[in-house]
């Protein structure tokens, strides 16, 4: 490309400008700028021409129009080896602009610090993204820098090539630039969608900022990274206190645990997750008891899982946790004595979730060339529409457990059967291809680990029973109350089997598939 003649600098974040200005001065590259950037450059003691002087057009509309001028964009966009372009530039007496350094108005920061819509809209950058896109499009001739982290590499290029840059460098910076404009526009779009309550727009763009590479994905041969996708936070707000780096599988289990913890459980509760499925869930007035009950639900599966708590972990609970191998401990804070106990296991990840925000109203699943979006499953059931379809009716105490069981069902992979007693799971059948196998699995686990609690227990099913064999398996194990959506063509047959065994059955008319 040869030596850079003119550089245009227009940045909201003015940090570290000196190092760039020094190398531009050294290589006798002219600098053009505007507004606050112009003042900062002059204050640093470097020569600079103001854009309004360069274009002979004063900025207007309170600064909304500064760089949107043919002289600027022609200087950026023209093809240096195109005869027609050169003639047109010469006729207009427009000069080339070979280096563009731009970062945008802080729209992302603004929406996180104010709800003033006028201020937010004024922080939507127009001129900046336009210049960035123009420079990135013309990367064959123009260098575009959008990240101050790239200043050092730019300096190396300019020093090495005596005021020029390589095509490889320009292409990499152009790639990064288009990533930034897409990210920026996606955030603006998402803010507008949420402002008007539009959850499923005609066109949907996801934004994400990389916050770190993971050791590997689900398996060692797969690469993986973590991104933050939030209008409210710059990070995922999971404060790791100690332990090894988190893996892809750790995060997958963590988010499964947080999903249950933050959306559906209020009193002191413990969730133990293994392979993104709950293997133990318990709510209790005693935080310690909630942990013990959750672990007792399936102690074999709990081994090597993650523990998620919506309370502060104390010394007693920490001692109980340390009796078993867990990959991750999540809690709303840790007492000092508790930390001294937990940190004895150096590899175990200890994470404070006190500042974690449960933000979005939708969930997404990505496939090769498509994705699905849906509303989060925030409904348990309508208490006014739930109907007892058997002769025997549940008590108020049983209704509490019925709701707890059906609530947990939402987070168990389908087909799902959840058996509970006293707001604690005692058997979970998850992810089976038929409901009968889920019933067998749930009752098998309950018989193995919680046989005393099986008698008069309550079972929930995420969908209807297509045949009576599933409820018969539950009844024979000791279940006395069953809650399910209903809706099978064999509902009468299923109700008849329930009445014959004198169990209670409720229909919710709400299904909770979780695939």
- Taking the C-alpha atoms of residue 287 and residue 307, their distance in angstroms, rounded to an integer, is 13
Tokens of 462: 């995420």
Q: Look at the block and give the residue holding tokens 């739930």.
A: 386
Q: Look at the block and give the residue holding tokens 């598939």.
A: 513
SS3 call for 500: helix
Nearest to 405 by CA among 362, 451, 461: 461
SS3 call for 393: coil
Say what the pLDDT of residue 220 is: 92
Whether cis (ω within 30° of 0) applies to the bond prior to 20 is no
Burial (CB count within 10 angstroms: exposed 0-12, middle 13-18, buried 19+), residue 80: middle
- Which residues have a catalytic role annotated? 137, 275
Domain residue ranges in the chain: 6-196, 239-352, 387-507
Quick one: three-class SS letters along 205-273? CCCCEEEEECCCCCCCCCCCEEEECCCCCCCCCCEEEECCCCCHHHHHHHHHHHHHHHHHCCCCEEEEE
- Taking the C-alpha atoms of residue 421 and residue 366, their distance in angstroms, rounded to an integer, is 37
CATH of domain 387-507: 3.40.140.20
Tokens of 370: 């498509």
Say what the pLDDT of residue 345 is: 93
CATH of domain 239-352: 3.40.140.20
Say what the pLDDT of residue 383 is: 86
Say what the pLDDT of residue 266 is: 83
Q: Which are the contacts of 106, defined by CB distance < 8 A and separation ≥ 6?
A: 12, 13, 123
Per DSSP bridges, beta strands 425-429 and 306-309 are unpaired
Nearest to 205 by CA among 183, 227, 228: 183
**Exposure b/e, 480-504, CB count within 10 A at least 16 = b:** bbbbbbbebeebeebbebbeebebb
Q: Which helix (H) or strand (E) holds 339?
A: helix 336-342
- Taking the C-alpha atoms of residue 31 and residue 18, their distance in angstroms, rounded to an integer, is 13
- Homologous superfamily of the 6-196 domain (CATH): Methylglyoxal synthase-like domain (3.40.50.1380)
- How many other CB atoms are found less than 10 A from the CB of residue 224? 16
SS3 call for 391: coil
Whether 239-352 and 6-196 are alike in CATH topology: the answer is no
- Taking the C-alpha atoms of residue 163 and residue 3, their distance in angstroms, rounded to an integer, is 5
Say what the pLDDT of residue 1 is: 63
Nearest to 390 by CA among 491, 461, 477: 491
Say what the pLDDT of residue 32 is: 95
pLDDT of the chain, 515 residues: tens digit per residue: 678 999 999 998 889 999 999 999 999 999 999 888 999 999 999 999 998 889 888 887 877 888 888 999 999 999 988 999 999 889 999 999 999 999 888 898 899 889 899 999 998 988 889 999 999 999 999 999 999 999 999 999 999 999 999 999 999 999 999 999 999 999 999 999 999 999 888 989 989 999 899 989 999 999 999 999 888 888 889 999 999 999 999 999 999 999 999 877 889 999 999 999 999 999 999 999 999 999 999 999 999 999 999 999 999 999 999 999 999 999 999 999 999 999 999 999 999 999 998 777 888 988 888 989 898 888 889 888 899 999 999 998 899 999 999 999 999 999 999 999 999 999 999 999 999 999 999 999 999 999 999 999 999 999 999 999 999 999 999 999 999 999 999 999 999 999 999 999 999 999 999 98
Tokens of 405: 């069981």
CA separation (Å) from 8 to 34, 81, 156?
A: 9, 21, 19
Question: Could you give the angle at the alpha carbon of 235 between the alpha carbons of 232 and 238, nearest 5°?
Answer: 115
């Amino acid at each position: 490309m040869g030596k850079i003649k003119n550089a245009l600098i227009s940045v909201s974040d003015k940090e570290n400008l000196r190092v760039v200005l020094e190398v531009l001065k050294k290589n006798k590259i002219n600098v053009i700028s505007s507004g606050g950037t112009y003042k900062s450059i002059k204050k640093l003691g470097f020569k600079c021409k103001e854009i309004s002087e360069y274009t002979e057009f004063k900025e207007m509309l309170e600064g909304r129009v500064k760089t949107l001028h043919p002289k600027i964009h022609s200087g950026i966009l023209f093809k240096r080896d195109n005869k027609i372009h050169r003639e047109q530039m010469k006729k207009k007496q427009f000069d080339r602009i070979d280096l563009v350094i731009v970062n945008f108005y802080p729209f992302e920061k603004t929406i996180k610090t104010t709800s003033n819509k006028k201020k937010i809209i004024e922080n939507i950058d127009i001129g900046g993204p336009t210049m960035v896109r123009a420079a990135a499009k013309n990367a064959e001739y123009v260098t575009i820098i959008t990240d101050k982290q790239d200043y050092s590499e730019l300096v190396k290029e300019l020093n090495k090539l005596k005021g020029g840059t390589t095509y490889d460098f320009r292409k990499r910076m152009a790639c990064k630039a288009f990533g930034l404009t897409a990210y920026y526009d996606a955030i603006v779009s998402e803010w507008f969608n949420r402002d008007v309550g539009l959850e499923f727009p005609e066109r949907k763009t996801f934004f994400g900022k990389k916050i770190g590479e993971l050791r590997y994905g689900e398996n060692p041969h797969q690469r993986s990274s973590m991104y933050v996708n939030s209008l409210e936070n710059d990070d995922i707000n999971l404060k790791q206190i100690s332990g090894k780096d988190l893996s892809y599988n750790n995060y997958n289990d963590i988010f499964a645990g947080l999903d249950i913890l933050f959306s559906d459980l209020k009193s002191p509760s413990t969730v133990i997750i293994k392979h993104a499925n709950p293997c133990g869930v318990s709510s209790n007035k005693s935080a310690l008891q909630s942990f013990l009950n959750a672990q007792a639900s399936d102690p074999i599966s709990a081994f090597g899982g993650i523990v998620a708590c919506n309370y502060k972990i104390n010394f007693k609970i920490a001692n109980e946790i340390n009796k078993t191998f867990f990959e991750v401990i999540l809690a709303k804070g840790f007492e000092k004595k508790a930390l001294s106990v937990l940190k004895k296991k150096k590899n175990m990840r200890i994470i404070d979730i006190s500042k974690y925000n449960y933000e979005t109203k939708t969930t997404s699943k990505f496939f090769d060339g498509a994705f699905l979006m849906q509303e989060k499953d925030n409904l348990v059931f309508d208490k006014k529409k739930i109907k007892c379809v058997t002769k025997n009716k549940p008590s108020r105490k049983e209704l509490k457990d019925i709701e707890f069981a059906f609530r947990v069902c939402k987070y168990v992979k389908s087909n799902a059967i959840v058996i509970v007693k006293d707001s604690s799971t005692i058997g979970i059948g998850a992810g089976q291809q038929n409901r009968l196998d889920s019933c067998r699995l749930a009752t098998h686990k309950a018989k193995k680990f919680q046989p005393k609690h099986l008698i008069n227990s309550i079972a929930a099913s995420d969908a209807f029973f297509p045949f009576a064999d599933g409820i018969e398996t539950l009844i024979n194990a000791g279940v006395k109350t069953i809650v399910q959506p209903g809706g099978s063509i064999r509902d009468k047959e299923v109700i008849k089997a329930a009445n014959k065994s004198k169990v209670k059955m409720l229909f919710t008319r709400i299904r909770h598939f979780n695939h």
